[in-house]
Every structure is written in structure tokens, then in C-alpha cells.
Structure 1
Amino acid sequence: MLKQSGNQKDIYTREVITRFELYNSLFLTLPFYQVKDTGILLPFFTSHCEKGVAKLKSPAEIIETFFKERAPEIDEREQINRLFRFIQYIERQVVLFDAIEDSSFSKLSRTDGNGTLQGLVQQIAQDDEVRDKISEKLRNFSLRLVLTAHPTQFYPGTVLTIMTDLIEALKINDINAINLLLQQLGKTPFFNKTSPTPVDEALSLMWFVEHVFYNALADIQTRLNEEFDLGDVLAGIFELGFWPGGDRDGNPNVNTDTTRTVAAALRQTVFRCYYRDYRALKRRITFRGIEEPMNALGRIMYDNAFNPRPNAPDLQEEMAGLLQNIKDTLVKDHDGLFVNLVDDLSLKIRLFGCYFARLDIRQDSRVLRNVFRFGLNQPELNNGLPAEEYAGLSEEEKLRLISFNEVDFPCAEAPVPGVDPMINDTLCTIRLMRSIQQQNGEMASHRFIISNCQQASDILQLMNLFLWCGWTKDDLTVDFLPLFETINDLKHAAGVMEQLYTHPVYKEHLRRRGNRQMIMLGFSDSTKDGGYLMANWSIYQAKVELTAITRKYDIDLTFFDGRGGPPSRGGGKTHRFYAAMGEEVANDHIQLTIQGQTVSSLYGSVETAKFNIEQLVNAGVAAVLHPDQRDVLDYKEKELITTMAEESFGRFVALREHPLFTEYLENLSPLKLLSNINISSRPTKRNAGAALKLEDLRAISFVTAWSQLKQSVPAFYGVGSALRAVKEGGKWSCAAELYKTSGFFKTMIDNCIMSMSKSDFRITAHLQHDEHYGAFWTLLKNEYDLTKAMLLELTGNKELMQEFPVEKNSIALRERIMLPLVVLQHYALQRSKSTSDAELKSVYEKLVIRTVYGIVNAGRNLV
């Protein structure tokens, strides 16, 4: 990635910082909630927090001295009331800042066309040979963006709507509209009174599918087709995936009814989009000879948008045929007038079909093994397999004995006494996938992802479950995706896949599926398991090994990357990772999850979505544009990174095994209270009723807890020690050279730096004197200081993110806005533990929960 220019920094200062200061001064004078002077008092509170943190004072001391100086006459309950009012203002300051940044997006991105489609076109304007190579590359390229069921966006739909309108008003500096919207914002609730259901979450995410991706993907495809003459191939480039309603491992509250409802909602939503476009088309096409196909098309779209029928058939081909009929008549009899409108709707129908987004099903391998054992105990399914002894057999014996017998085993619609509900749900969902394909099209639900996949039998047993539920080998239109997550599973992934590639039944299944295999690699759990460096390096090595073994069997491989928003969950500048992949890694197709706030921060509007999608398209064609700049790490470079990863891994594992690790996170962060936040329908950890174990803690909760502490431990711990070991081993010049030459290594380091810039150990500095936690806090702080020093030396910079002043300023402003919330949170946590008043304890816990909302929203991609 190119360094950001001084010009961008100046534009950012003018368009964002100055305008935020201006509109914030207006905002702070608005009399919300009948609390006089709260907005006027907030700047004093913010300043007091900044000065207190700079002096390393404890949160309790900062809050107590503020009230002693500014409101000595009020009691504790009124102090709490004032703190809640401060939070309400700060929450809305965050919305204002987000809206101002988003409204300035085009001006900021226009200064640097690097990675955009316009920049690509200009770059190859005079080079027909490169243009032809890119066209060829795009014909074999695909990009799938998968929206996941990991909600870390705390804004309800009402607030998102206000934000959308506020962005438009800010683009033209409409003071009157901005003032009214800020007033509306001040009176609009920011959180749900009850937790959403899985269907609620899916419907919320569909807002982005309907209002952003529907137009953004079609616009980019149209432009690519015009520039590179891709024709009908274009419809296969972009794919939209969807996890809410299908991801059982991510949310145990998802069931068969959820999946059925979400699939129907996706179908109805896409027809609603089609019907809007149809109405625009009908206003223009008013000619003779087209009435019959236009009316037929209108009836189909209207009925499916507003009067959906159960078991409605797949209508994609019928709609495409009617549009082709209309186009032919326009060309023949009406000079091709408005053919572009017909082409646009035809393109969208080819792209989204009757399904809109492809609904993935995901379940943990341990659940699926349990379902398979249940099947072995059913006489009609067993087919001679040793049901009682099966689990204890070797992997080789299992692969030899799985029978793949085709049986239409009936599933109970209602729970069966004595049978685990997960078993019945799995069997019913497998049947449901067939119904969804028949109604919405094969692409509507064609992937089953096996989380925690550890052996080839995990996939083959799942195949057998499909054959027990009415599917046959010949019509098994389903792709089975192993998800390798832990460091150990990543290490053995290639061996597992070779067993599959050589198994006769799976080999034949792949042949019927076009010899294409998709493999998912999980960043979040691998980072929690092995730390930042080891997770990234293990995934890279797994990709190299999996690519080699898959090419050996002449199979087309696609990696599906489970990446979160921040670097600690595999996020950051994701397109830079893809652009840096060398020939050792299969990179013809890009598939990645979009989760949490990444949806709204990177894909919240058509404009930002197009920019970020174009970045990924550019990454996909990077090999053509820069054939000599692709990473091919030699033996010594791999050895160097391995040395660093192993040193970092050792440090991280030692930290995880520290007796205070889990206790520190539980007692000093809001981890225990995250389950009380009404933004998600899923628990914060697996085995919800049991005592906390790190392996049960979901990665999103793990990273959230550290981010609330302002200690981004998962994204940096062990990195400094690893770099120091390299330096002490006399390899420092090699590491410095690697940072300059390897896109993979540089991106990994730069993302670590970005996460570290969001840490602030000053807020918890009082813990260094704590008798119980002092030594542990010092351990974390020392590694942070070491990592910062080593990274600055490695990059040759004087401060973190020096090369990216725009992002540095954005993070700094956000950190300043959220600082009072962080101080408030730690104060409230401490008071909730120390008070003996049950009512006050409850109120302080509510105060903590409210700060979590604001901190996460302010951080954008914080978790």
C-alpha cells in the first residue's frame, strides 16, 4: 500500500477535524433529556479525564475529584445520573464523527486512486496487452463476500437511518437539516430493551444487502464488463454469502425454522428490489409490442415481493427469458431505446437469482459426530457399522467402514423425548437445504461448513448424513467446507485433505462438483489459540501446503478466510494480504467474511462499499499488474518468520497459562457483563452454564474484553519478544529487509501497529501497584513497550502509524472521544464490586454496559 500523502492529511484536517469541531459545538448546546448544561459540562469532564489519565491517576480518583470540583453538592445517585447523561452525549458525538468521516469519503479517496477501478483503468489505458491479461484473469476470478452472524454493531436501525440522512446533509453542509437530525438523534434510543432473535439479526443485516450490496455489486460488474468485455462471465465474478440464520456453531439458538424463515426473507427482499427496478423500467418502456412480457414480469415480481407463496419455484430463468424477449423487441422495433435499463435488471437477476445471498450452513464437528453416532444406532441406517465401537476406531478404519448408504430416513418435525435437539435440527436442516435449492435455486444454500474440523471422517460422515436424509450421490449439489482453526489443526490440514482427495467416494463427489474445493481457515480462534504472529504464519503455511496438495490432484482450490474487523481477528487491511500472495498460494478466488462493524464501517453505503470491493478486485488481479512484486518467500525468509512465530507462540502460550490470565480478564474487564448487552441472540461463550474456560470463550468476546481494557493483547503480545530474539540472533538486517520487500510480512506488521495505536495502558496504570494484579499488569505493559520499541526500529519511524497520517488522526480523535467512556467503565466496574448495596451494584453494572456500546461504536473495528 502506498504511503498516504500530506495532501490527504490536509484534506482530512479540513473536511473532518475542523467540521467535527464546528458541528460538535452546535451539538453540545442542544438541551437533551431536560438535563440543564450537561452538554456544556461534558468538555470539562473530557479535559479532566485527559489530565487525570496523563498523570496516571486511577479512574476512581479521576471521577471523584471531578465531582468534588464541579458539583460538590450532589450525592452518589445524582453523580451516577450525570454519568449516564455524559454517556448519552458521547454516544451521539460518535455518530456525528462517523457521519462526518463518511460524508468526506469521496474527497479523501479521490486524492489516491490506488486500488480503485478508475485507477486501474487509467493505469492500463495505453497497454492493450495488460488489458487482455486482466480480462483473462477476471474470467477465472471470483469474489465472495460473506456477511456473518457476529453483530458488534451496536446501532439500532433507527440510528442507522438517521446516520444515512446526516451523511447526505453533511455532504452539502445543510445546517438546518443537520440541526434537526442532531435533535432527532438526541431523542432516539441507542439500544434495544430486549435481545434480538436470530431472525431479527438476519433482517437487520439484510438492510445492507438490500440498500448497499444490491446496487454496489451491479455497478462494479457493469463497469468491469464495459472496460474488459467480460460478457456473461461477469455474473460469476461476484457472490454474496450470508451466515445469519444458517450458522449454528456461531449461534446455538439458530434452528431449522430460523433457516427457513431467513431463506424466505432473502427471497422476498430481492424480489422487492427487482420490483422497484421494474417500476422504473415500466415508466420508460411504454411502446407497443412489449405489453405482454412486461405485464408477465410485473406480476411475477409483485407477487413474490408482496404476496409470497410457500414452496414457490425458482423463477430466475423465467424472468431472464422475459427480459431477453423485451430486449429483442426494443432492439428490433424501437432503436434499442432503454436497453441499458433492461441490461441492468438482467444483470442483477443473473447475479442474485431468487436467493439474493447464498445461505451457508455451519455446525461444529463435535455436534455432527454426535448426529452420526445417533444414525448408527438406527437399524435402518446402520448398514452393519459397529455403532458402539465406531467412535474408538482409528481414522483409517472409519474411512474404510463409512458405507454411504442412501436411505430416506424420516425426521421428526417436533422434538423427540430423549434425543438431543441438535440431532433433530441437523437432520431437518439437511432436508431443508434441498427444499431451499428447489425453491430459490441451487446457489441459495449449497455449502455446509464443518467448524473445528480435525479429520477427513468429519467431512465423510457429514456426506453420509446427507445420504441418510433423502439426497443421493448423483444429486448431492452441496459443497462441504472444512474449517481449520487451531494451530494444531492448521498444521495437519494438508494431510486431512489428501485423505479426502484420494477417497473414492469424495473424489467422485468432487468430480460432479467441477473438481472445485473450498477450504475455510479461521483467524479468530487461531489468534486466541496461538497469538498474532503464530496465527498469521500458521495460516500462511497451511495455505502453501494445501495449495500444493490440491494442485497435485488437479483440483481448483478456493480459500475462504474467516476474518474479523480488527487485526486480532484477522482483519485490518485485508486486500493487502491478498495482493501479497505469491504463486505458492492459490489466489484465483477471494472469499472472506465481513463481520461486526466491518459491515457498516467499510460497506455502510454504496460509495464506501464500491471502494472497498474494488480494492479486493485489484488485489485479485495484482499478479497481472505487478508480476515481479508478488511474495515468494525463500527458505531463509521462511525460516526467519518461523523463528519469530515460534518465539511469539511460546510467549503467548506462557501468558495464557498464567494463573491470573482468565481471572484478570474476568474481573477487570466487562467480560461477565457482555451477555447482558442486548445486541446479540447468542451467548458470549460455549457451555454457557459452566465455569469460564478460555477454550469455551468465543473469540469475539475474548477480543472485546481486551479492547475494553485498552490493551490489545491478542494483536501484539509476543511480537516484541520475537523481534528482539531475531535481533539478538544477529538477523535484524534480514528482518528489516523482509519488511521492505515482503507484502505479506509488511501487512502483518502494519496491522499489528494499527492495533497497538488503539491501546492505552495509562488508563490501567494504577494496577501496577495492585498487590494481586500488579505483576501481571506489568508483564503486559513490558511486552507492549518492547513491541512498540522494536516495531519503531524495524519500520524506521518515530511514532506508530507515521506512514498513515489520515488513519492515525482518525484513530486519535476516536480515542479522545471514547476516553471518558473508558474511564467511566473502569470506575463503574470497581464500584460495582466494592458496594454492598444491591441496587447500586445493579445500577453501576448498567453503567458499565452502556459504556461498552459507546467504546465499540467509537472504535469502528475495535472488536
Structure 2
Amino acid sequence: MSVEPKLTRFNQSVLSKYQIYNSIFMTLPFDTITKTGVLLPLFHETCEKGFAQGDNPTTIVDTFFQKYQGRRSEESQINLLFRFIQYIERQVVLFDAIEDAAFPIVNNMDGIGTLRHLKEKATSENQLEALQQYLEEFKVRIVLTAHPTQFYPGSVLGIITDLSKAVKENNLNGINDLFAQLGKTPFFKREKPTPYDEAKSLIWYLENVFYKSFGDIYNYIQTNIYDDTQKHNEIINIGFWPGGDRDGNPFVKPNTTIKVAKKLKQAILKKYYADLKNLRRKLTFRGVEERVIKLETILYNFSINLNTEKTITADELLNELLSIRDVIEADHQSLYINEINSLINKINLFGFNFATLDIRQDSRIHHTVFTTVIDKLIENNHPSFPKNYHDLSDDEQVKILSEVSGDKIDIDVFEDEMVSNTLKTIKAIKKIQKTNGERGANRYIISNNQTALNVMQLFAMLKLVAFQDDLTVDVGPLFETIPDLENAPDVMEQLYSNPAYRAHLEKRGNKQTIMLGFSDGTKDGGYLMANWGIYKAKERLTAISRKYDITAIFFDGRGGPPARGGGKTHQFYSSLGPTIEDKEVQLTIQGQTISSNFGTLDSSQYNLEQLISSGISNRIGKNNEAMSEEDKIVMNDLAETSYTAYKDFKGHAMFIPYLERMSTLKYYAKTNIGSRPSKRGTSDKLVFSDLRAIPFVGSWSQLKQNVPGFFGVGKALKAYEDRGEFHKVEQLYKNSKFFKTLLENSMMSLTKSFFDLTKYMSKDEEFGAFWDIIYNEYLSTKSLLLKLTGYKELMENEPAGRASIQVRESIVLPLLTIQQYALKKIQELEKAEVRDEEQIKIFEKIVTRSLFGNINASRNSA
């Protein structure tokens, strides 16, 4: 372990290397006409100096061309700006690769929060049995989603991996070749990916990262913490949304879901085959070799063709390997026993499904589908549904739905595409369970869930369509908005009190998945209120679930940056007290968070171990105390004040026009980074409720204003300062890890803000006053957070994280300048008496292209 401080390790292993390799990169002749590599540092310097003296982006770009490129034609100037964008995108990739290569040096792989540290601490405190007990019932599930916050196509991800390896080995020739490859590899997609494309790109991580890192973690726990070869609680598992998540994505069809499930099964069979192939070279003993060869042959054929004649089930594969292990233990001195155990462990972890496909759909879609289905059933005199069903109260409908019986319904009679697809999706779940095992697809999430009726409609549909005898699917309501979060405990009590639903839960191990939407919650209620609203909902949901002897499994829909409920994830989970159920940690991992936190074997193992240890402080050693009533009053008051400020801000007459005309919001749809439409609804007019959290947060990020990560925090703190009660907030900060973690994540949003970029907007006749509101809240939040923490600068407690952000922000500064320059040009051209459509198109293309590098540069947002 290095004894140098983390910042020193970062400077030596990341910053210095980046400066060296970047200078090599800048001299490579990707393009013979313009000296892009020579001119970009000059442009970067012009940007830095320009903003320091208060210039706007237009002045900065014009100054650069006058000073260094006076003879260039206008067309040639535009071409150079496009070249700059291409170079900067690749600088970001270079920095990613260097940071990935240095990950185990910068982060202490045996430090606090790692399994080795946990074991040593537990052993020294005579708590090893308690640790074993904890690991026997605790689970972490990370759920990969296809939400589009990552712009790298698969080919570029491959280059990052190879470049990272070459940097680790200081392989200059390899680095040079990869730079050249990088220069010629397209960074953006000309066509939108299909949901199946998205699934394939995420399966890359399953095959290349998670298969090994999950296996290594499980092996370590088995051999070092339990010191045996027994099967234990799986501890870590993986969920998967591409191909299953149809909320707002009309392109996810039932066939897509089945196709993705097949791909997942083939992918895991190929991994088992590769392991068996390696084992075959080692297990060359009489009575063993032929058995391994037989298994290898079966798996090879099965992985190529799932319909091959000679197949094997996961249980048969496991039993044969266990039997082979017994022979080796008895007759061959346990030679290579660890390798066999490792494969057995992986089969226990991944089965024949690799990841569990979740299905997700909006409650409003279900309601429409269900109404159509009920109408048809009533028409056909179905015994479960009276003629006046639609006139009954919600409670009466719930009672009927819980007692649904009778023959399965014929889904072919429904002609409406949405109805047909929804019902066929339920059949697809049943089919996947038959081919991939129950874990292949056994959970259905209802987004925008508001009532118990929403849950019971799906409960009844699942039974009517495919699961009449035995419902092997968990129904998970997703509560997102602030009012829905407040109402959630009542909804769950209604369900727990329902005898039929209660009986279903008993069959499912008395566990109930409840999903909570951080990113839409933040968009709806602002930063403090969303997080506090979810905290309070979790406390109340824990209490109501425990009352009915149900274990609540909280599944958090967390985005990457703090503005979408992300931030330092393991710190967040370790800050929750004993009043919140914590037997399982489940969270969505999306976009650049997948590549930044789990994209390499080192980062994946480190961050998974941090999540595993996150809840342990509530069980072993010092308990994380529940928040005192006094602190809760202050926290609640802060959240309410910030919510009011955020709601007023959202309701400002200029809020939507500002996003529409001054930000990059409308350009997100043109980037072709995800299969989902960039907003809900079909209206041409921008309606706040139709906005998806990702383009909403992303647009603020491109402006370098990061509003959803801090707006209202300053107002809330200021209220206490003005009342002379700031000591109460200081007390809360000292007492509550939860509050502390929230504010530290908010500091990250502030650190990534750069108001000099858009200062010119303050002089705008229409939007000047609105820009001032945002800027003043930024200044107020920053100064009050520094006062509260006693820091001299933001993120003072995380110098390496701060340094990483600063380098990334510096790399994209010219990119942001170009983007703002183009946006300003578009505004001018649109106001002109005669519109030059060609020119507008060119500048719109610059804006769209500049989105990529800026988003990718923000990868350390999680």
C-alpha cells in the first residue's frame, strides 16, 4: 500500500501521465490540412484568459481567430472548430484511460470499506461470527439500465480498455497506435440504437467485467471469511433493464425481451464453456478428464445453438461439477480445487440467466390496457367481473382483483397494439422463466405508481394471462413524485392487509420490493426535498412493513450525478440509520456511471466491495444512530424551505423558455444515444411533466449551472442564518451522516458549475434577471456550505476527487466555449430579417456534436 496521500498519488499517476501522453497525442498528424494539435492549446489559453477577464464566448472565439488565424475563411474557421471538438472528445478518452489504469494506485484496494479491511476489523474486534451472519443475509443488486447518459459506442469503449492496459504497461508503441485508431474512430452514432443494441453493449460489461469481479468477491468471502467451500448467500447479483424496460419506450416489444433473454443465456454459457476449456487442460486425471471433456462439448454446442439436441440444466451442470470435485478431493490431492470451486460459485451466482431482466411499465398504460381487457371479459361474462365493475369504488375493485379466478384469457382477441404487447410481455416472462430459470425474469416494476389499485391491476393481469396456478413474479411499485412518496406507506398497508396479496408475499419469502425514484423526485421536488422525502418514506415504509412481518427491499432509481439522486453511493447507504430496512441494497446504475464506477475489474471490485460494506456499520461495531427528533425538525424545515424555493423557481415565467432557448435541451433528441424518445408525450409545446430527468439535468450540466444539484439549498441555509439559528444546522451536520453526505454531494454539483461561461446572459433583456436568480443561489449556497463545513474550498475533504473534476472541466472548457458560441450564433441568425437556414444547420450541428465530449467528461459524477 502506498503511504503517499491520495492527492499525491493522483498527481503522480494520473495528472503527470496525462500531461505527458497528451503532449504526444497533440503532435500526431491525424489531419494534414490544419495544425489542430498545435492550435488547440492556444485556443485553450485564449478561453482561460478570456473568461478570467470577463469576456463572453463569442468574443473569445473571435479574438482567437483574429490573433492566430486571421487569414482563414469563415468556412475554414467552422471546420477548425469541428476539429477542436474531435480532439477534445479524444482527450477525454485519454484521461479516462489513464484514470482507469491508475485506479488501484489512487484508491487503496485494501482500505476502509474493502472486504480485506472488513475481515481484519471484525477479527480484531472478535466480531467474525457477526460478520458471517451479516453476509449470510445481506445482498447487493446493481441493475444496469440503458438510460442514455453515455455517448461512447462499443468500439470506443474497447479502445479505452486497450489504452488503459497500454498506459499501465507504459507501452509507448501500443499507445501511439491506439491514439491513431482513436483519431479515426467515429464517436457518435448516425442512427439511434435499438433496445437490443443497448442490451448488447451492456452485456459487454457482464462478460468482460462482472463475470470475473463478482466471482472474485464471492471466492474471497467463501475462502477468507467463511473459510470453507460451502454455498452461501449469493451476496451480489445483477439486474438488467435493456429489453425489459418499456416505460416511455415504444420500441421495446415482447420479442425484444425474449431476444435479450436468449442473448444473456448464450453469453453466460459461453463464459462457462471458456472456464471449462481452461479446466480441461489442468484436470487430466483418470476418471475426471473424460467427464470434463463431455461437459465442455455439451456447453460449446449449447452456447452456439440454444435449441441443440443435447442440453444440460444449471442444476445438472452443478451436480456434475460437485461430483468431479469430490473425486479430485478423494483421489487427486485436491489439485486445482480452487479453480473448480470458482466455476461452481459462478454458476450459483449467475445460473443460466446471467442477469435478472426486470420488466417496467407506467401505471397509466396498465390502466388503459386493463380497462380494455376488463371490457372484453365482461362482454364474455367472465365469472370474476360484474357488469358494473367500472362503477365500483377503488376498494371494491381491489377486492375483486385479488380474488380473480377462471380460465386464462385468450390474448389473441385483442387488436390494439399496446394491449396486445402488454399481455404478450407477461407471456414472455413465463417463457423466460422456463428457459433461463425463474431468476431470468421475475420482477415487474410499475412506474408512476399512485394507488394499491395500480398494483392489483397488474397482479390480476399476471394471473389472468400466464400465472394462474403459481405467481412467480414480484410486483414492485415505483414511487417518484413528492406526493406519491408521502402516500406510499398507505398504499403498501392496503396491499399488506389484502389476504390474497399477503398470501402471495408469503410464497415469495415475505419480501416486498419498493422502488423509489431519485432522479424524477429531484426534478420534481428539488435536491434536498427529494432526498429527504425518500428518507422519510423509507422510514415509514420500513415501519409499516415490519408491522406486517414483511422485509421491505428498497430499490433506488439513482442516476449518475447528485442532481439525479446519485453522487457518492456507498457513503449514502452507510449513512442510513437503523430505522431504514437495509438487508438489501438495490440501485440502478446507468450511463457513464457504469463505465466510471464499474467499467474495469479494479473499479468494479472496489465499488462493489464498498456497497457490500456500506450497511455494515448499522450491524457491527458502532451503530449508526437514528436521527434525533430535534435534528429531524431542522432537516424537515430545511427540506420544506428548499422545496418552496425550487417550486417558485420552476414556476417562474422564464423557466421553460430559458431551458428551451438558452440551453441544449432540444438538441438531446438529435444525439442518437438512446432508443427512448427524449421526452414523454407527443405535444410540440414543451411541458415540464413530459421532460425526462436525463435531458433535463444534462441541459443544466451543459450550461455549467447544475441547478438540480443545489437550487434551494442556499435559500434553506440562509433562512437559519437570518433567524440567528445557524447553530441548529451546524448541530445537524455534526450529528447526521445522512445530511453530511447530502451536502457533500451537493458540493460536487457546485464544483462542476462555471458561471463565467454564461455570464453574458445576465445582460440579456429577456433572460438576464432569470440568470441572476440562478447565479445568486449558486453564490449563496457555496458561501453557506463553506461556512457550515469550515472548508476553505468546495470538496476540501476529497482533494483527489476535486482534482479529477478540475482536470476534466479544464479539458472541456474550449468545447463549452464553442458550444455557447454556436448557441449565440443560432439566436442571432433566428432573429435576423432573412433566416439563413444553411448557417443555422451548421451551428446546430456544432451544438449537437459538442454535447458528447462534455457529458463523457463528467463520468466521475457518481
What TM-score bracket applies, with the shorter chain setting the length?
over 0.9
Residue 860 of structure 1, CA deviation = 0.9
Q: Match of 2:847? A: 848
How many residues were matched structurally? 852
Instruction: Indicate if the aligned counterparts of 2:88 and 2:812 stay in contact, CA closer than 8 A.
Output: yes
Q: Name the aligned partner's letter for residue 196 of structure 1.
A: P
Residue 125 of structure 1, CA deviation = 3.7
Residue 780 of structure 1, CA deviation = 0.5
Instruction: Indicate if the aligned counterparts of 1:169 and 1:177 stay in contact, CA closer than 8 A.
Output: yes
Q: Match of 1:38? A: 36
Which deviates more from structure 2 when the two are superposed, residues 533-542 or residues 311-320?
311-320
- Cα distance in 2 between the residues matched to 1:683 and 1:199: 16
> What pairs with 1:747-762 in structure 2 (closer than 5 Å)?
747-762=741-756
Which deviates more from structure 2 when the two are superposed, residues 226-235 or residues 670-679?
226-235
Instruction: Give ranges in structure 2 of 5+ residues lacking alignment.
Output: 830-834
Q: Deviations over 1:656-709 (max 9, x none)?
A: 111111110111111111111021111110014442111111111110111011
- Cα distance in 1 between the residues matched to 2:616 and 2:408: 46
1:398 maps onto 2:393 in alignment: no
Q: State TM-score, norm by structure 1.
A: 0.96
> What pairs with 1:648-663 in structure 2 (closer than 5 Å)?
648-663=642-657
- Cα distance in 2 between the residues matched to 1:773 and 1:406: 62
Q: Match of 2:331? A: 333
- Cα distance in 2 between the residues matched to 1:85 and 1:277: 45
- Cα distance in 1 between the residues matched to 2:353 and 2:344: 15
- Cα distance in 2 between the residues matched to 1:861 and 1:705: 17
- Cα distance in 1 between the residues matched to 2:749 and 2:738: 17
> What pairs with 1:142-541 in structure 2 (closer than 5 Å)?
142-229=139-226, 232-309=230-307, 315-378=313-376, 379-380=379-380, 382-383=382-383, 385=385, 390=390, 393-402=392-401, 403-412=403-412, 417=415, 419=416, 421-472=417-468, 474-541=469-536
1:676 to 665, 670, 673: 670
1:57 to 43, 55, 58: 55
Residue 332 of structure 1, CA deviation = 2.0
Identify if the C-alpha distance between structure 1 residues 60 and 382 changes in structure 2 by more than 3 Å, giving closer, same or farther: farther
Q: Match of 1:627? A: 622
Residue 224 of structure 1, CA deviation = 0.8
User: Tell me, what secondary structure is at the counterpart of 1:363?
Assistant: strand
Q: Match of 2:762? A: 768
Residue 753 of structure 1, CA deviation = 0.4
Q: Name the aligned partner's letter for residue 166 of structure 1.
A: L
Q: Deviations over 1:335-358 (max 9, x none)?
A: 221121111111111110110000
Q: Name the aligned partner's letter for residue 582 of structure 2.
A: N
Q: Match of 1:554? A: 549
- Cα distance in 1 between the residues matched to 2:309 and 2:423: 20
Q: Match of 2:87? A: 89
1:644 maps onto 2:632 in alignment: no
- Cα distance in 2 between the residues matched to 1:232 and 1:598: 34
Q: Name the aligned partner's letter for residue 471 of structure 1.
A: F
Instruction: Indicate if the aligned counterparts of 2:562 and 2:861 stay in contact, CA closer than 8 A.
Output: no
Q: Name the aligned partner's letter for residue 150 of structure 2.
A: Q
Instruction: Indicate if the aligned counterparts of 1:235 and 1:351 stay in contact, CA closer than 8 A.
Output: no
Q: Deviations over 1:437-475 (max 9, x none)?
A: 011000100000000000001111101101211311x41
1:602 to 597, 605, 610: 597
Residue 311 of structure 1, CA deviation = 11
Instruction: Indicate if the aligned counterparts of 1:193 and 1:678 stay in contact, CA closer than 8 A.
Output: yes
Residue 310 of structure 1, CA deviation = 8.4
1:744 to 734, 738, 746: 738
Q: Match of 2:856? A: 857
Superposed CA RMSD? 1.8
1:817 maps onto 2:811 in alignment: yes
Residue 320 of structure 1, CA deviation = 0.4
- Cα distance in 1 between the residues matched to 2:710 and 2:308: 51
2:776 to 772, 776, 782: 782
Instruction: Indicate if the aligned counterparts of 2:231 and 2:345 stay in contact, CA closer than 8 A.
Output: no
1:691 maps onto 2:690 in alignment: no
Q: Deviations over 1:739-792 (max 9, x none)?
A: 122110100000000111000111000111110000000011111111011100
Identify if the C-alpha distance between structure 1 residues 425 and 761 changes in structure 2 by more than 3 Å, giving closer, same or farther: same
Instruction: Give ranges in structure 1 of 5+ residues lacking alignment.
Output: none
- Cα distance in 2 between the residues matched to 1:775 and 1:335: 79
Identify if the C-alpha distance between structure 1 residues 595 and 130 changes in structure 2 by more than 3 Å, giving closer, same or farther: same
Instruction: Indicate if the aligned counterparts of 1:381 and 1:468 stay in contact, CA closer than 8 A.
Output: no
Residue 385 of structure 1, CA deviation = 3.4
Which deviates more from structure 2 when the two are superposed, residues 760-769 or residues 372-381?
372-381
% identical equivalent positions: 46
Which deviates more from structure 2 when the two are superposed, residues 186-195 or residues 485-494?
186-195
1:729 maps onto 2:729 in alignment: no
Q: Match of 2:832? A: none
- Cα distance in 2 between the residues matched to 1:348 and 1:318: 15
User: Tell me, what secondary structure is at the counterpart of 2:245?
Assistant: coil
Q: Name the aligned partner's letter for residue 671 of structure 2.
A: I
Greater than 4 Å deviation, 4+ residue runs: 230-233, 310-314, 386-389
> What pairs with 1:573-612 in structure 2 (closer than 5 Å)?
573-612=568-607
Residue 33 of structure 1, CA deviation = 2.7
Which deviates more from structure 2 when the two are superposed, residues 112-121 or residues 797-806?
112-121
- Cα distance in 2 between the residues matched to 1:499 and 1:567: 33
User: Tell me, what secondary structure is at the counterpart of 1:762?
Assistant: helix
Instruction: Indicate if the aligned counterparts of 2:826 and 2:843 stay in contact, CA closer than 8 A.
Output: yes
- Cα distance in 2 between the residues matched to 1:693 and 1:294: 61
Instruction: Indicate if the aligned counterparts of 2:593 and 2:861 stay in contact, CA closer than 8 A.
Output: no
User: Tell me, what secondary structure is at the counterpart of 1:590?
Assistant: strand
Which deviates more from structure 2 when the two are superposed, residues 593-602 or residues 284-293?
284-293
Q: Name the aligned partner's letter for residue 688 of structure 2.
A: L
